[in-house]
Each structure stands twice: as C-alpha cells, then as structure tokens.
Amino acid sequence: MEISILTICYLVGSISFILGLKMLSNPAKARTGNRIAALGMTIAILATIFLYRDEEGNRLHNHAWIFGGLLIGGIIGTLAAKKVKMTAMPEMVSLFNGMGGACAALISIVEYDHLVKPALKVLSYAEQNDTEFSFSIDLSTMPVIILGLIIGSISFAGSIIAWGKLNGKIKDFSFPGQHIANLTLLAIILALGVWLWFDPIAAPRFYLIFALAILYGVMFVLPIGGADMPVVISLLNSFTGVAAACGGFLYNNKAMLTGGILVGAAGTLLTILMCKAMNRSLKNVLIGSFGGASNGGASGVKSQGNYKEISLSDAAVLLTYAHKVMIVPGYGLAVAQAQHVCHELEKILENRGVEVDYAIHPVAGRMPGHMNVLLAEADVPYDKLKEMEQANDEFGTTDVVLILGANDVVNPAAKTDPSSPIYGMPILEVEKAKNVIVNKRSMKPGYAGIENELFFQPKTSMLFGDAKKALQDLIAEIKQL
C-alpha cells in the first residue's frame, strides 16, 4: 500500500512540475507556478524520506542527518535569495545550477562505489589468499552512472566558471588551438567512459574520468566571450537537467526523472531560441566567442567621430511633448536598480498623454529574460513589453527612444559592418526613431567589448550618469514643465 502512495506522491510532484513550468510562461501566473512546483517538490521529498523502501524492504534512516541538511540548505538558500540583487541574479542562477550538477556527479560517485565495492572486496580477498574468485556486476546501470558523472561534473565546473565571469572574478582565457584541445579532451573522457563500462572494476579510471570532466568543464567555458554568457547559462542548465534525469533512472524515482527531463528540455529549447535570437548557431557561440578578450575591446575599434550630449531640461522637453516613447532597458538599468524610477517616469509621461512602451531584446542583460524579470519587479504591465520583432515595426512611428544602459543589442554594426563580431545578430533597430537618447555612465563599450556606432549618429544624444539618478532628475525636470 505504501508503494502505491509513494507512486501517487511522485505523480503529484511530476504534475506540479509540469503545471508550474507552464505557468511560468505567463508573468501574472509565474509566482503561483513557482509555488505549485515547490509544493510538488516538497511532497516528493517527504514521500521519499518516509515511504521509500529499498529492494530488501528497508526504509531510509538517519533522519537527523537528512533533515539537518535540509534545514541548513533551506536557510542558506532563503537568505541568499532574499539578499541577492537583480544584477547578481545571473550569478546566483549559475551558482545554483552548478550545485545541481555537483549533486548529480556525487550521486554517480556514491552509486559506483555501491556497485563495485562488493566486487573489489572479493578481488582483494582472492589476491591476499591466492585463490580463485568469481563475482557478477549488473552493468545495466553503468552507462547511466558514467553519463551522470560526466555531465554533472561538466555542468558543475562550467557553471562555477560562468559564475566567476559574471561577477568579474574570472577573465576570458584562450590559447591557440584551445577548441581542438577541448574536443580531444572530451573524446578521451568518452573513450574512458566506454572502457569503464565494459571493465567497471577500475576505480582509478572512474576518478580519472571525474577529474578530466571537471577540467573539461573549466576549459569549455573559459574562452567563451561575455556576450555569449546568456546562451552558455541556458546550455549548462540543460546539462544539469540531463544529469538529474540520470539520477532519476538510477533510483527509479519518477519525480526526479520528470524534473530532470523538464529542466533538460527547457534548457535545450531556450538555448536554441537564444541562438536564433542572435542569428548564430550553437557551434558558432561555443567556438566564435564574441565578447571575449580576444576582440581587443575598445582599443581595437576605429574612431567613430564625435558624439553630442543632451541636457536634462532638453531631454525632459523632448519626452514630455512626444506622442510616442519607447524605453529600451539594459544591464545599466539593472546595475543602478532603476526599474522602479523608470516605471514612475512611464506613469508621469502617460499622465501627460504620451504613449510609453518597452522594447525588449531576447538577450538583453546577463541571462535569458533578465529584463522581463527586472520590469516585473517594478510592476510594469506585461502588455507594455514589446518583443524585438514588434518593437522594430514600431520604431519608425516613435518620437523618442530612451535607452537605459543597453549597448550591444542596439548596435547598428550588427547590420552594417561585416567585420564586426556581432554582425548578423538581430538588434533593436532604434535608429529608425526620430530621436534617440542614450543613458550611460560613460562611453565605454558594452559587454561584447566593441564600440557602438549608434552613439555617433546625428539623431542620437548622450545623457551621461547613473540611470537611477538621471531618471530621478529627469522626472523632477518634467514636473516643472
């Protein structure tokens, strides 16, 4: 009877994961979807602790250790989630994703030890007593153990490197022939995995695979440029999902299997969509690495000419007497925590009869959906967020585009300069508008490390300063008109 109840609990958990993921597609239901999925996970965890029995009928024990770990992890996760800034959210996603990969790798290590330890004891006894020995090992789970180890280790190491690169602690690194070296290393890992499958009584080989997979995860992410990090985060997320699904196979845990498949599939689809949004193949992202140190940053870019600044009073007049304004949020907006002030500006302009919308590029910010989450935090109505294609159709009838910290996603070089590293990437075509106001701290290049020719066009004006302070001053100027 308990097994039936456990199966039902896993089914409830699996359904809640699917419903929660479905509800995440709607900002109005996203929070509820998160809660439903969390409730399903809680049910699956408690059911496993209290109802699971192994093949010999034994229940889980050491409840003090289990709940101690849950309590400590829960406190750390809650505090981290409450204190994290929106600008650091991509880093947290990478870090938590890495922890998931590490858990999957540890599961493989534990299960390998459980599988081969009896055989190793027989082998050791036979060698010590100079006797013949015989034993059998169920090799059916070995491929899953090996895959879980390799994918989980790569996901863990790669996510930690991504975390370091996002917070600026780790710089891009590459050397001539690195991609060939990486592919060679991956081939060696896979070859050792196949060898271990057919000859599992080789613990040193198992841990060699573990070490090489960690090394590959590091070398895999190190050369990838900053502008490609949103795609890399999505890809590593899918890796973690696949590794978790391997754990679900090992334990015959339907909820774990379903969750892993959902994460793996969602991460893969998101990676494909991100590549499509950048008009690049996944191979090009992993090998091309635009936004890395190899591009030379601004120093390697030819002079674009002069730019012009705009005063706060002139910007206020331009916005106040416009019929239609489009706001383009970017990472600079997130850094300044200016989303609430931006929403206030939007409401003030609308009260004066100005139509205000937001243009959202799919890869704006440091992770998929970064800008959507940022604006949702400020209670910006979702119907005001225009996707790239729709926004591009409307820029021609827009009086003023206000760019807040965005850079690479509005760079016309993606359309006009075949030598540019971002050439071919779809962008927000803000240059179609009658006037463009760009708020930046300075003229430094964006995350891709290249100059933006938009800043030097005749219809573009620069409004320098912190986004939050600039918007607050702009609001004060508008109120005086």
DSSP state of 104: H
Does residue 467 sit in the same domain as residue 358?
yes
Q: How many Å apart are CA 474 and CA 423, to the nearest integer? A: 34
CA-closest candidate to residue 150, choices 180, 192, 105: 105
Residue found under tokens 């440091």: 366
Which neighbouring-strand residues pair with 464?
440
Does residue 101 sit in the same domain as residue 217?
yes
Q: Please enumerate in sequence order all residues whose Cβ is within 8 A of that of 99, keeping only pairs 6 or more positions apart, or say none.
A: 156
DSSP state of 357: E
Burial readout 291-312 (b: 16 or more C-beta within 10 A, e: otherwise): bbebbebeeebeeeeeeeebee
Does residue 289 sit in the same domain as residue 309?
no
CA distances from 85 to 30, 97, 345 (A): 19, 18, 22
CA-closest candidate to residue 388, choices 411, 369, 368, 360: 360
- Asked if 243 contacts 106 with a C-beta cutoff of 8 angstroms, the reply is no
Tens-place pLDDT, residues 117-162: 776 666 665 556 666 555 556 677 889 999 999 999 999 999 999 8
> E strand or H helix at 396, and its extent?
none
| Torsion over CA: 362, 367, 371, 373 (sign) | positive
Q: How many Å apart are CA 162 and CA 99, to the nearest integer? A: 13
Does residue 204 sit in the same domain as residue 235?
yes
Which neighbouring-strand residues pair with 461?
437
The last residue of a domain, from among 260, 295, 330 = 295
Q: How many Å apart are CA 336 and CA 362, to the nearest integer? A: 21
Does residue 455 sit in the same domain as residue 366?
yes
pLDDT of residue 145: 93
Does residue 281 sit in the same domain as residue 314?
no
The last residue of a domain, from among 236, 271, 295 = 295
Q: Under DSSP, is residue 134 helix (H, G, I), strand (E, B) or coil?
A: coil
Q: How many Å apart are CA 186 and CA 180, to the nearest integer? A: 10
154 φ/ψ angles, rounded to the nearest 5 degrees: -65, -45
Q: How many Å apart are CA 467 and CA 338, to the nearest integer? A: 6
Does residue 219 sit in the same domain as residue 239?
yes
Burial readout 276-285 (b: 16 or more C-beta within 10 A, e: otherwise): ebbebeeeeb
Does residue 150 sit in the same domain as residue 254?
yes
Its domain, for residue 68, covers 1-83
Does residue 290 sit in the same domain as residue 318?
no
Q: How many Å apart are CA 237 and CA 409, to the nearest integer? A: 23
Does residue 143 sit in the same domain as residue 288?
yes
Does residue 265 sit in the same domain as residue 314?
no
Return the active site residues.
408
How many structural domains does the chain have? Answer: 3
Q: Which residues of the chain have pLDDT under 70?
A: 1-3, 55, 86, 119-138, 225-227, 284-285, 287-305, 366-368, 446-449
The last residue of a domain, from among 83, 108, 134 = 83
CATH classification of the domain holding 334:
3.40.50.1220
CA distances from 276 to 114, 268, 463 (A): 44, 12, 32
Does residue 229 sit in the same domain as residue 329?
no
Q: Under DSSP, is residue 82 helix (H, G, I), strand (E, B) or coil?
A: helix
- Asked if 154 contacts 220 with a C-beta cutoff of 8 angstroms, the reply is yes
